[in-house]
Amino acid sequence: MPDRGGSPSGPRMRVGRPSRRARTLLMTLGVLAVLAMAFVMFAGFWTDWLWYRSVKYSSVFTTTLWTKIGLFAVFGLLMGITVGLNIWLAYRLRPPLSAMSLEQQSLDRYRMGLAPFKKWVLLAVTALVALIAGASASGQWRTWLMWVNGVKFGQKDPQFGLDVAFYAFDLPWYRFLLAFGFSAAVLSLIAAALTHYLYGGLRITSPGARATAAATGHLSVLLGVFVSLKAVAYWLDRYGLAVKSSDFKATGNWTGLRYVDANAYLPAKTILFCIAAICAVLFFATLWRRTWQLPVIGFGLMVLSAILIGGLYPAIVQKFQVQPNEQAKEAEYIQKNIDATRKAYAIDSTKPENYSGKSTVKAKDQLRSDADTAAAYRILDPNIVSPTFQQLEQKRKYYQFPTTLDVDRYDGKDTVVGLRELNIKGIPKRNWINDHFTYTHGYGAIMAAGTQTDANGSPVFTEAGLPTTGSLGTYQQRIYYGEKTDQYSIVGGPQKELDYEENGEKTTSYKEKSGVSLSSTFNRAAYAVAFSEPQILYSGAIGEGSRILYNRTPKERVEAVAPWLTIDGDAYPAVVDGRIQWIIDAYTSRTTLGDTTADSLTVGNQQRAVVAQQNQVNYIRNSVKATVDAYDGTVTLYEWDTQDPVLKTWMKAFPDTVKPKSEIKADLMGHLRYPQDMFKVQRELLTRYHVTDPAQFYSGSDAWQVPDDPTNKDGNAVPPYYLSMKMPGDAAQRFSLTTTFTPNGRPNLGGFMAVDADATSKEYGRLRLLRVTEDVPGPAQVQSKLNGLPSVAQFVRDMKGADSDIQYGNLLTVPLDGGFLYVEPVYAQGRNALYPLLKKVAVSYVDADQPDGDTTKDTTVFEDNLTKALNAVFGVEAPSTPPTPPGTTPPPGTTPPPASNDAALQQAISDAQKAYDAGEAALQKGDWTAYGKAQEDLQKALQRAADAGAKLKTSPSGG
């Protein structure tokens, strides 16, 4: 028992300190934990550096990195010093003795508790605000680079006479500096006030003065700084009026000055600047007067002025001067807005051409003849036939085609193109080795003629098979980089890759220097951490020569090497100089554009994500054309708009990253086209800005809208279509991008626009806009009339009876001899079939009636093929049937060319006929596997016939 003194009567257990060995172990574990966390953070940085170095854009990484570090250090240090200095100064200005009051007695406990740690608290607060400010400033690296490298536009704004570069490059940086200054002033004011209060410089309930003279002077200076910054803000707001966005009920979104801005807000901002400057002087004068009376009066005057002059006065001007005569008052500013907007969007040279919609040719045979040359009618819809490509050319489950195919030009003809990319979900046995080592790439570009199908409605492939054969000849068919390739692969090491399966399994090993080497253990460890995949570190499948490929979609590769560009939603492939190249359009723009670039194809389709999804664009140029090699991933940026000052600015910031336009080779130039997203932005603007008269613009009497897609029931806008066609006055077809307009709230056709989309054309980028002056049916009306035809109703009943679905293809609109020709392919897909087939073609020719008439006459037909439909719509047969090129299936309704006596050609034709007959028989039985095999045999036979025909033509006895 313990004695009375509490001393133990027996042995007492002591809790001793840990042994030296335990302390060493704990310290070692702590150091290892810190090193592990440091390595995790470092791994991301290191792998990024390795990737940028592998694509030869390390300068982008280093420039961006050092800019961020510089901004972080400078502004973090400024903020930390500013706040820390004011805390230290407030502490130094504390009164020597605290007032005897309950308030000060309560604060004494905090002062005593803080005393041993005040230096550490000061450092902690300073470091915290420095880190936050530095992180915020580093995010402004684009603003800094644009300001320091800004190039003049050579164009002045009409209000202030400043070069547009001031608004594009200077003003955003000045606004950032102003925001930083406000933050520093407010944080310093709060920190200083708290310190003064803690140490007795400010008192709330204590007797006597509420603030010492030192505290009064210190806080007055900080308030003077804040008010001075407010004066600067008022001055900059004057220039901000020139680019501000507002809602103008007469026209919708509005950028720039209006009457109330120029005549009320602008003078108000100038007056408020003067008042704020005087108020700031009053605050600084408190250093000598030691009284708050004048500064408080001045501050109150500034607040009252902001309410009366900055808010109430402009509202009165708008209510009593502008609204009673708004059109006249706003006319000058509407004109300035029209001129500036049309120039900013590169639509300033686009002027509507009146187009009556009345046919200038009455002879039916002439109309029929002209219809054959007016356009290359693309009846193969790239938005529908992807399942057909998938069924006929997928070959293996681990391949796939994009949901929406692309339209390009080969041999001068519109061609539908899709790449056979890797589908990781279709791998027969999923495991880490198969996913990342064995199945690494897709194989081949599949192409089909855009203007024809075979007798059954299937595409006529010009490049098909595995490996593909056809019109392209020999090219590198392996696709390691593509739109569907979003997982990493490890190639080039001891593990062989599956190349393709055709008459046995073929393997390959990647030989290019693309990707990052994993020969180094350090690199493997870094990627194991960065990808959260420990097997990368110790797997035996990785060895000498192994390389990791990632960031494999064209869009993310271009975005990574050019983070200052906005990327078009549609990257498209082209076979150029024996390689598959992804072509990506890129833009320099100031902001982004809501849903202007959304339509019935982009909504819900992540592959075709639109340019933007936030606010309003106020400047856009298709300044860069980029390519990504599908085999080795090489990213190349080409300067396209050589006059764009924004691009020139970025080229100064990132020198040697963009190649000059002159280095674009002719083969690549032949596949460059006008970008869809740019066209969508421009067509949206031209719904209003095709009008250049201020009064008419204000009234909105000639405003248009982009019509809803009549073939799609989701209510989204009709997409623009690539099509080779002739505009009025053209002698030959041009590869174009087209769209239609309807008047606001009406279904009839209001306008038609096409842009020369062929980069090899001297007229590339020329926007042609037709204003339809007579009453002509629009797309929805044409579709409605088509749906009401008895032949269509019968076809729908027949297809439903056969358990098939109907799909309407792209409704193409073509100007023809004063009227408009609408062409629409119609597809049917059996519920047991895996892909749609072209079954019908609908054609309408709409022609406004005579001037004294009030009706519209039009003819709509629904036939088995395009030739029959054109014959029917004009009531005459085609004047002649153009010969079919060797190796292609004659269009339905045409007569095939006579057979040659050449034995090889005769045998190929015989085999083709047998394959066709086998396909028809399989189709009737619903045996889609046999049908697919027959189509393959047919294509091979046609290719042999083409080869034989070519040999016969070039032989001494041939042709």
Q: How far apart are CA 193 and CA 517, in angstroms?
A: 57
> For residue 590, what pLDDT is reported?
66
Mean pLDDT of 127-156: 94
| pLDDT given for residue 946 in this prediction | 63
Kind and range of the H or E element at 36? helix 20-54
pLDDT at 39 over 50: yes
pLDDT at 933: 72
- Contact 809/779 with Cβ under 8 angstroms? no
Q: Tell me what pLDDT residue 113 has.
A: 67
- Residue-averaged pLDDT of the chain: 84
- Interval 703-744: pLDDT, tens: 999 999 888 777 788 999 999 999 998 889 999 999 999 999
Structure confidence by residue, pLDDT tens digits, 443-477: 999 999 999 998 888 999 999 998 999 889 899 99
Q: What's the rounded Cα separation, in Å, for the pair 846 and 268?
A: 57
- The radius of gyration of the chain's CA atoms, rounded to the nearest angstrom, is 36
Q: Which of these ranges, 10-14, 298-302, 446-450, 675-679, has the smallest mean pLDDT?
A: 10-14
Answer yes or no: are the C-beta atoms of 470 and 462 closer than 8 Å: yes
**Residue 852: pLDDT band with limits 50, 70, 90:** very low
- List Cβ neighbours of 472 (8 Å cut-off, separation of 6 or more): 410, 445, 447, 463, 575
- Look at residue 879 in the predicted model and tell me its pLDDT: 63
pLDDT in tens, 947-956: 665 555 444 4
How many angstroms from the chain centroid is the CA of residue 879? 46
| Predicted local distance difference test score (pLDDT) of residue 903 | 62
What's the average model confidence in pLDDT over 885-892?
Answer: 40
pLDDT score, position 105: 61
- Angle (CA) 145 151 155, round 5°: 135
Q: Is the pLDDT of residue 31 over 70?
A: yes
Q: pLDDT digits over 376-399, tens only? A: 999 999 999 999 999 999 889 999
376 pairs with which residues across the strands? 724
pLDDT band of 898, cuts 50, 70, 90: very low
Q: Is the dihedral of CA 68, 74, 80, 83 positive or negative?
A: negative
Structure tokens of 894? 């045409």
Query: Which pLDDT score is estimated for 877?
Result: 82
Closest to 72 measured CA to CA, from 62, 80, 61: 80
Q: How far apart are CA 774 and CA 856, in angstroms?
A: 9
Assess contact for 441 and 479: CB atoms under 8 A: yes
Q: What is the pLDDT of residue 592?
A: 42
Q: Side chain identity at 528, as an amino acid letter?
A: A
Q: Is the pLDDT of residue 943 over 90?
A: no
Give the tens place of pLDDT for each residue, 249-298: 666 678 888 899 899 999 999 999 999 999 998 888 887 776 777 778 88
Looking up tokens 């051409």 gives 353
What pLDDT score does 443 carry?
A: 94
What was the pLDDT predicted at 130?
94
The two structure tokens encoding residue 625: 């054309």
Helical spans, DSSP H, in 115-170: 118-138, 141-149, 164-165
Q: How far apart are CA 91 and CA 731, in angstroms?
A: 85
The Cα 944–Cα 937 span in angstroms is 11
Reply yes or no on whether the pLDDT at 900 is more than 60: no
Angstrom distances, CA of residue 707 to CA of 117, 654, 698, 720: 70, 42, 22, 11
Backbone angles phi, psi at 840, to 5 degrees: -145, 160
- Report which of 563, 569, 556, 576 is spatially closest to residue 631, judged by C-alpha positions: 576
Task: Tell me which of 576 and 99 has the higher pLDDT.
Answer: 576
For residue range 199-211, list pLDDT tens digits in order. 877 777 655 567 7
Contact criterion met (CB below 8 Å) for 661 and 637: no
Q: How many residues does the chain have?
A: 959
What is the CA angle 108-110-114, rounded to 5?
115
Query: For residues 80 and 126, what is the distance between their CA atoms, to the nearest angstrom?
Result: 5
The residue that leads in pLDDT, 943 or 213, is 213
Average pLDDT over residues 569-590: 92
CA of 251: how far to CAs of 53, 120, 246, in Å?
Answer: 49, 59, 10
| pTM, entire model | 0.83
Residue from 824, 797, 798 nearest 810 by CA: 824
In Å, how far from its chain's centre is CA 86? 46
pLDDT of residue 645: 94
Q: Is 592 exposed, middle or buried (0-12, 13-18, 19+ CB in 10 A)?
A: middle
The secondary structure of residue 955, as a DSSP letter, is: S
| 585, 680 contact by CB (below 8 A) | no
Query: What angle, rounded to 10 degrees, do the helices at 171-198 and 102-114 form?
Result: 110
Whole-angstrom distance, CA of residue 29 vs CA of residue 928: 65
pLDDT at 358 over 70: yes
**36 vs 480, higher pLDDT:** 480
pLDDT tens-digit profile of 492-514? Answer: 988 999 998 877 788 999 988 89
| 108 within 8 A of 98, measured Cβ to Cβ | yes
pLDDT in tens, 772-803: 998 899 999 999 999 888 888 888 888 877 77
Exposure of 749 in the CB half-sphere (CA atoms within 13 A): 35
Before 494, cis peptide (omega within 30)?
Answer: no
Lowest mean pLDDT, pick from 120-124, 348-352, 572-576, 585-589: 120-124
Of the candidates 551, 444, 548, 431, the residue with the CA atom closest to the CA atom of residue 492: 548
Pick the more confident residue, 617 or 138: 138
- Alpha-carbon gap, residue 621 to 611, rounded angstroms: 12
Q: Percent of the chain beyond pLDDT 70?
A: 84
